[in-house]
Amino acid sequence: MIRRKSFGVALAGVAVLAGAAPAHAAILRQAQPDIVDTAVAAGQFSTLARALQAAGLVDTLKGPGPFTVFAPTDAAFAKVPEATLNALLADPARLRAVLTYHVAAGRVMAADVLQLQSAGSVQGEPIRIAVTGGTVRLNGSSTVTRTDITAANGVIHVLDTVLMPPSMTTLPQTAGAVAALPAPPLALGGAAVLGALALKPATRALATQAVDRR
């Protein structure tokens, strides 16, 4: 009888530990920063943070996800003509189309990217992927300079050039008069993931980091 009781207690202890393991993993995930906070802490994505705030996408990318974000650095945004960038920042709908073109649903790690020729964006248009000598280029113009920056709700890959959706190829390339931009698609791919983009105001922490350069 004593042996059976001891065995039963041991089994109960194993069951408790087995149940605690997933809970412990969940706590660790909660302690890890989300994509937005990870990007802000990196210190090289202040323009991206500013754009996410202007587009009303902050709370979306702080949501459960998971998301894969191809994140242009401040240097990448500096390549965009100032007139073009200011026009996009002043037009949330079109800005949202550009930014969601940098997002894919799910957690796509670098090893997965290397096996792909294209990736579907949340915006709805595909991102072309080419790998040459271990270097990953998107749409033939943007190089992935760093990969697999993990966050609680996804992963970030760093870009040296801002991607523009193919439907926005008429964007001006010089800092002159801003041409009229085409409207983004009405039915955004992955709209279910973004919850129809009905978003809350940006968090104060991001607002502090996203300094207005204008």
Q: Summarize pLDDT for 61-78 with one digit per residue, the tens.
A: 999 889 999 999 999 999
- pLDDT reading at 168 higher than 70: yes
In this prediction, residue 74 carries a pLDDT of 96
> What does CATH list as the number for 32-209?
2.30.180.10
Alpha helices by DSSP H, listed for the chain, are 2-31, 35-42, 46-55, 58-61, 74-78, 82-89, 92-100, 110-113, 191-194, 204-209
- pLDDT at 20 > cutoff 80: no
Judge contact between 165 and 141, C-beta under 8 A: no
Spatial CA neighbour of 122 closest among 178, 179, 55, 170: 55
Distances, alpha carbon 114 to alpha carbons 26, 103, 109, in Å: 29, 17, 9
Q: What is the mean pLDDT of residues 159-182?
A: 62
Average model confidence (pLDDT) across the chain? 73
The more confidently predicted of residues 26 and 190 is 26
Could you tell me the pLDDT band of residue 115, with boundaries at 50, 70 and 90?
Answer: confident
- pLDDT score, position 171: 53
pLDDT of 30 above 80: no
Sign of the C-alpha dihedral, residues 145, 60, 94, 189? positive
What does the DSSP assignment read for 48-93?
A: HHHHHHHHT-HHHHTSS--EEEEEE-HHHHHTS-HHHHHHHHT-HH
Rounded average pLDDT over 138-144: 94
At residue 113 the predicted structure's pLDDT band, cuts being 50, 70 and 90, is confident
Q: What is the pLDDT of residue 169?
A: 62
Q: Are 187 and 124 in contact (CB under 8 A)?
A: yes
CB 169 within 8 A of CB 48: no
